[in-house]
Chains A and B, each alone.
Chain A
Amino acid sequence: MSLLEVQDLKVHFETDDGVVRAVDGASFSVDRGQTLGIVGESGCGKSVANMTILGLTRSPITSISGRILLDGRDVLEASPDEIQAIRGQEIAMIFQDPLTSLHPFYKVGKQLVEAIQVHKDVSKQAARDRSIELLGLVGIPDPERRMNAYPHEFSGGMRQRVMIAMALVNDPKILIADEPTTALDVTIQAQILRLIQRLQEQLGMAVILITHDLGVVADVADYINVMYAGRIVEAGTLDEIFYDPQHPYTWGLLGSLARPDRPRTLRLSQIQGQPPSLLAPPQGCHFRPRCPYEFDKCPQTPGLEPRSGTPGHLDRCWLPPDKKRSLRVVEGEQIGLEVPAA
């Protein structure tokens, strides 16, 4: 039993236009000390799936099914009070834009202290001391003085450090980082990723790293799940995904990745078309309309199964593994969906 197991999670929103199948049967798990990368383009359901873990998508128009087991307890069954106790204490989350994610009117110290005091009955002084300790841990210089600063007085990278400190004040078992580096400069991105990695090693927590950029997870993730249109289309270890990708969508993502370690002979390839509307996704494989290798089996939904010959490496593509390996474009070891125009 893993620390967190998400089983066949479905999150549907009943809107005026119809049912939006934001997450349509996602299963993944993560354990202590592991980093799981969830990769996919905007609107594929990766954020919704993870916000559902914290109960943040609960609303009258949401219908949720499946199971989310945290240490064996089903989080979906948790009462509002129970889920509130889980939030920030057992599972913490950080978000994309650290400027808008911090309350502009309160000093960061106050926001950190609040995060502690909602869960623990400790004195304000103890909460302050703990907050200062965490600000120091995430690498904010002169943390005691910075406690009295407002979010707008920090730079983008420092703000994200504050967010991370705030997420970690209660020693959560799991940290969900939803696009934590997307709003930051490239150099700062690397710093923040290294910080998350260092903290994980120090504190031994599980990390779920959500991103649209395979490059971000390449350094830090142990396992990668590739998500497309509400479903996980491929799951495996870092090496399996990068060196033996099975799903054409993964090929596309890899092909669109800028790789400084490869010769710069080719243009970056792109995946043609748009992701499908989640109101009426295509029948069968959701990637079908954009896939150049579609054949007569594709209108049936492929299950997430081990198909490549490696037991833990799962994917949702009907193509036989040998055909996949010959189809995916390998040119100077570059994997892509199609031969990019020169």
Chain B
Amino acid sequence: MLRYIVRRVLWGIALLVLASAVIFVIFYVFPSADPAKLRAGRQANPAVIASIREQLGLSDPLWEQFLRYLTQVFTPFDLFGAAEHGGTGPFNFGRSFGSNAPVKDIILDRLPATALLVAGAVFFWLLMGLPTGIISAIKRRSLLDRATMVTSLALISAPVFWLGLVALYLFASDVGKIHIFPGIGSYLEADTFWARCWSLFLPWLVLAAATAAIYARYLRSSMIDVMSEDYIRTARAKGVGEGSVIMRHGIRSAITPIVTLLGLDVGLLLAGNAILTESVFNIPGIGHEIVVAINRSNLPVIQGIVLFGAFFIVTFNLIVDIAYAYLDPRVRYR
């Protein structure tokens, strides 16, 4: 088991270095515009641009820039002129072209909003999706099953931005028909943890809706498959009660693939995939930040968020792999 975990961790680190190399190629080798000019802004003259180019170390050979970049991102050392060109790391992604703030600080500043949004959404989609899927599978072809499956199809098909606007139109306390939940921008005004949670209530439901529907359908079909397995028949033939057959023998197997889905979804959302929800509800999260950064060609911020996202995806993949080995004993020895 330990060997397995070590192997997965090493593989994860290798993936991250690979991702950084790809990101380096995109941002340093083929930048969409000259970074020095972008950094200089509107009042640029050739002298300023040249000094910025020197400061960012853009005229150094590419391999030196790459090693410096890796040093700044992953290590605290001053190698390849790290201190001179942008400062030492770790997690040094440079400074924003706009505000001149370190990209690391910007990300850490935006992360709590995204994390809280994702955590609540995960809670709600599991709460809605899992029981629905299991009950639909057991009461297959019943009215309840058909109703939930049609609803879930509608929720999967509904785009998040549309669902968000509909939710605001119906329930927002300012513009809604029924004034229940806080509306757009309420997160910015919330000053306590609970106030933030309350302001995120509608975004949670909107973000959770489609995923809950996907999970419900996925778990339903997985559960239907499992309940026709031979070992379920064995459990019944042993005299195990139907409730126990479902809970201990059925769900235990059917839920395992859901863990994979969950890990990937959480990683993606933390990496900025909650972008639409954050934009609709004006939540200052990672996804919101990257939209702004892209609009302004703020290369360091884009690059930082992309690399940070890669980190989340790799990390959650790692968690999934380890969790899977724990859940399915057949995986451990491979």
Q: Which residue of B lies closest to A81 (CB)?
A: B241
**Which of A63-71, A87-95, A249-257 contacts its partner?**
A87-95
From residue B225, how far is it (CB to closest CB) to chain A in Å?
12
Q: Tell me, rounded to whole Å, the shortest Cβ–Cβ distance linking A270 to chain B.
A: 30
**Given that A100-B229, A100-B231 are contacting pairs, would A87 and B237 also be in contact in the complex, using a CB cutoff of 8 Å?**
yes
Given A100-B229, A103-B231, A105-B327, are A87 and B239 also a contact pair (CB < 8 Å)?
yes
Partner-B contacts on A (CB < 8 A): 54, 56, 80, 84-89, 92-93, 95, 97, 100-105, 114-115, 118-119, 150, 152, 163, 166
Contact of A101 among B233, B242, B328 (CB under 8 A): B233
Cα–Cα, bound, A152→B329 (Å): 9
- Does B235 make an interface contact (CB < 8 A)? yes
Docked pose: A193 CA to B302 CA in angstroms? 69
Least CB separation from A152: chain B residue: B330
Residue B189 interfacial (CB < 8 Å): no
Q: How far is the CA of A166 from the CA of B249 in the complex (A)?
A: 16
Hey, which chain B residues are within 8 Å of A86, CB to CB? 239
Contact present for B231 and A118 (CB under 8 Å): no
Contact A118 B249 (CB under 8 A): no
11 other contacts beyond A97-B230, A103-B234, A150-B329, with CB at 8 A cut-off?
Answer: A87-B237, A88-B237, A100-B230, A101-B231, A101-B234, A103-B253, A104-B329, A105-B253, A105-B327, A105-B329, A115-B239
SS of B interface (majority): helix
- Confirm or deny: B252 has a beta carbon within 8 angstroms of a beta carbon on chain A: yes
- List 17 contacting pairs A-B, 8 Å CB cutoff, sorted by A: A56-B237, A80-B242, A84-B239, A87-B236, A87-B237, A88-B239, A95-B230, A95-B233, A95-B234, A97-B230, A100-B229, A100-B231, A101-B231, A103-B235, A104-B329, A105-B328, A166-B234
> Are A104 and B328 also in contact (CB < 8 A) when A84-B241, A97-B230 are?
yes
B42 at the interface (CB under 8 A from A): no
For A95, list chain B residues within 8 Å (CB).
Answer: 230, 233-234, 237
Residues of B in contact with A (beta carbons under 8 Å apart): 229-231, 233-242, 244, 249, 252-253, 256, 327-330
Enumerate chain B residues within 8 angstroms of A118, measured Cβ to Cβ. Answer: 238-241, 244
Interchain CB contact (< 8 A) of A89 among B233, B239, B241, B242? B239
Q: Which residues of chain A come closer than 8 Å to B328, judged between CB atoms?
A: 104-105
With A100-B229, A103-B231 in contact, do A150 and B237 touch (Cβ < 8 Å)? no
In the assembled complex, the CB of B260 is this many whole angstroms from the nearest CB of chain A, namely: 15
> In the assembled complex, which residues on chain B have CB atoms less than 8 Å from the CB atom of A102?
231, 234
**CB-CB nearest 3 A-B residue pairs:** A88-B239, A87-B239, A100-B230
B330 / chain A contacts, CB cutoff of 8 Å: 104, 150, 152
Residues in A with CB closer than 8 Å to B235 are: 103
Contact assessment for A115 and B238 in the assembled complex, using a CB-CB cutoff below 8 Å: yes
Contacts of B242 in A (CB 8 A): 80
Among residues of B, the one whose C-beta sits closest to the C-beta of A90 is B239
Residues of B within 8 A of A85 (CB): 239
Q: B162 CB to closest chain A CB, in angstroms?
A: 38
- CB A16 to nearest CB in B, in angstroms, measures 12
Q: Which residues of A contact B238 (CB under 8 A)?
A: 87-88, 92, 114-115, 118, 166
Q: Report B208 CB to chain A, min CB distance, Å.
A: 28
Q: Provide the residues of chain B in CB contact with A54, threshold 8 Å.
A: 236-237
Distance, CA A163 to CA B234, complexed state (A): 9
For the complex, give the distance between the alpha carbons of A93 and B235 in Å: 11
A residues in contact with B244, CB < 8 Å = 118
With a cutoff of 8 Å between Cβ atoms, the chain A residues found around residue B229 in the complex are: 100
Q: How far is the CA of A177 from the CA of B249 in the complex (A)?
A: 22
Report the Cα distance A102→B238, complex, angstroms.
11
Cβ-closest chain A residue relative to B248: A114
What are the residues of chain A within 8 A of B327 when measuring CB–CB? 105
Q: Which residue of A lies closest to B249 (CB)?
A: A103
Collect the chain A residues with CB atoms within 8 Å of residue B230's CB. 95, 97, 100-101
A228→B253 CA distance, assembly (Å): 37
- The closest CB in chain B to the CB of A150 belongs to B329
Tell me, rounded to whole Å, the shortest Cβ–Cβ distance linking B243 to chain A. Answer: 11
* Interface contact A104-B231, CB-CB below 8 Å: yes
Measured between beta carbons, the chain A residues less than 8 angstroms from B231 are 100-104
Of B241, B328, B329, the most chain A CB neighbours within 10 A belong to: B329
Residues in A neighbouring B241, C-beta threshold 8 A: 84, 118
